[in-house]
Structure 1
Amino acid sequence: MQAQLIPFIISGDARAQAAFYIEAVGGEIHALSTFGDAPGTPESSKDKVMHLSMTLAGGNTLIMTDAFQDAEPSANMGLSLSFDDEEAARTAYRNLSAGGVEKYPFALQPWGNFYYGELVDRFGMTWQLVKQG
């Protein structure tokens, strides 16, 4: 059996979160539909994102939807990006941490020949950024 794991984020504001990620690491939205596209949707929910599909940082797929109640960030899930260029990784770390919390500075690690940094972005998503030696 072969399958592809695609992260799915339930967001408080999928449009704003997607725009932030595209600005921070590059990418594009490929599909966006709202709950207004579904019959019987209440007027107050018609502009909410039902499905947003995007690629980030060179082709990684991410799917998002808007939550119907407050979206609580999860401490049990995060996203990780591995880079082949140190400056690109540093830039992504700086961009993703804007308005968020830097948990672990992006730096060369003493336990191996790689760079690592961890942050929680302004939407509550934990990111780990890595650059091998």
Structure 2
Amino acid sequence: MAKLIPFLVSEDARAQAEFYINALGGEIQSVMTHGQLPDASEALKDKVLHMCVMAGGINFFMSDSVFESLNHGNGIQLNLEFPTEAEAREAFAKLGEGGTVKHPLEPAFWGSLFGQIEDKYGVIWMITNQAQASQA
């Protein structure tokens, strides 16, 4: 069975990773730079080739964009579901710093909170919490 690991390409992977760690908790688990490659280019030596980040309990990979410019798009969005409303609200607020609220975090018809933001790096996040069982 396959395992999905998001891979984010960034203009500054280190800064973007720190932003997510501050917003969601976690740590950078490993970093490999272009300078570690055989015959590395001096101009690229400090650029991130591969970074493993744990943030919000999720592993994802990152790298700096060095061979082509980034084009932000809306074809992929990352959904974070939190066990509690408080955790969802905190993540929404922190990931939204410097970004754009696309849909405010509010109760949805299916019984949980839902909100959508584009962070300051152009990544679109959907934030939810676990739906509560309806009371009869």
Fold match by TM threshold 0.5: yes
CA separation in 2, counterparts of 1:74 and 1:48? 23
Q: Structure 1 length as normaliser, TM-score?
A: 0.94
CA separation in 1, counterparts of 2:73 and 2:16? 15
Deviation at 1:70, TM superposition (A): 2.5
CA separation in 1, counterparts of 2:54 and 2:111? 29
CA separation in 2, counterparts of 1:61 and 1:73? 22
For 1:29-51, what per-residue CA distance to the aligned partner results, in whole angstroms no more than 9, with x for missing partners? Answer: 11101000001221111000000
For 1:14-66, what per-residue CA distance to the aligned partner results, in whole angstroms no more than 9, with x for missing partners? Answer: 000000000001111111010000012211110000000011112x1110010
Structure 2: 5+ residue stretches without partners: none
Pick aligned residue for 1:61 from 59, 62, 66: 59
CA separation in 1, counterparts of 2:40 and 2:77? 31
Structure 1: 5+ residue stretches without partners: none
Q: Which residue of 2 aligns with 1:8?
A: 7
Matches within 5 A, 1:1-133: 2-58=1-57, 60-68=58-66, 69-109=68-108, 111-131=109-129, 132-133=131-132
CA separation in 2, counterparts of 1:21 and 1:62? 11
Runs of 4+ in 1 over 2 A off after TM superposition: none
Determine what percentage of the aligned residue pairs are the same residue: 37
Structure showing greater Rg = 2
State the Cα RMSD in Å: 0.9
CA separation in 2, counterparts of 1:72 and 1:41? 26
CA separation in 2, counterparts of 1:41 and 1:78? 34
